[in-house]
Amino acid sequence: MFLDKLRTAVKSKKISIFTVVGIIISTFSSLNKLFILYNSFAVYLCFFNILLIITKIECIYGIIDNDNEALYYARNIVNGILVLCAGISFVIYTVIVLIFRAYHEEYTRFEGLYLATLAFVEIVIAIIFFVKDRQKSHYLKTMRISNLLLAFSALLTAQISILSFTGNDSYLGSIIFGMVIGISSIGCGIYIILSLNMD
């Protein structure tokens, strides 16, 4: 069973317990954002998060299943495509916001501060993962990239929500930041695929 394999991988230090906890927290954070943003256009940001969480779970499966070479390449190409699609979806979201100014919903102070707290937690996870897991495994490299992209996405969500109830117009800054995240994700997806032969 998956849980048995995961437990064995943690015990053998192929995967750190922090990696598993990080995925659980990322999933919890994304579900919370989905609940808060369900009635706003910004809910489409959660699609970006879901694709990156699927990527991280795929990496976990790859590590604990001891993939043969063919499956290793196939799984990593799929991971790269998932990150690439996440970036494309983010760029599309940003362009729609640019054209229709679609994100200007107002959030309560509690919602804004809660989203900011989730963003802070995801950033801390990304930083700790970079420090703790320095192995050169392609799967772990992909997970580090996914963690950083999730953290930046959380920052954007927090910025939009907090500035909405403070009365500040974050329109242009959010557009630029969102476009940077989307383009960066596209570049990371391409890098994940092309760097397979460098490992």
pLDDT 10s digits, 125-174: 777 777 766 666 788 888 888 888 888 887 887 777 777 666 665 667 77
- Phi, psi (5° rounding) for residue 73? -65, -45
List the structure tokens of 167: 């009365």
Q: What is the pTM of this model?
A: 0.83
For the chain, the domain total comes to 1
Asked whether residue 127 is assigned to any structural domain, the reply reads yes
Please check whether residue 9 lies inside any domain of the structure. Answer: no
70 part of a folded domain: yes
Residue 5 covered by a domain: no
Only one residue has tokens 């501060």, namely 113
In a domain, 15, yes or no: no
User: C-alpha distances in angstroms, 122 versus 24, 25, 138, 152?
Assistant: 11, 8, 21, 9
Check residue 167 and report its DSSP letter.
T
CB 163 within 8 A of CB 170: yes
Q: Does 3 reside within a domain? A: no
Predicted pLDDT of residue 40? 59
For residue 31, give both structure tokens: 């579900």
pLDDT tens figures, 36-87: 666 555 666 778 888 998 998 888 888 887 667 778 888 889 999 999 999 9
Q: Is residue 125 part of a domain?
A: yes
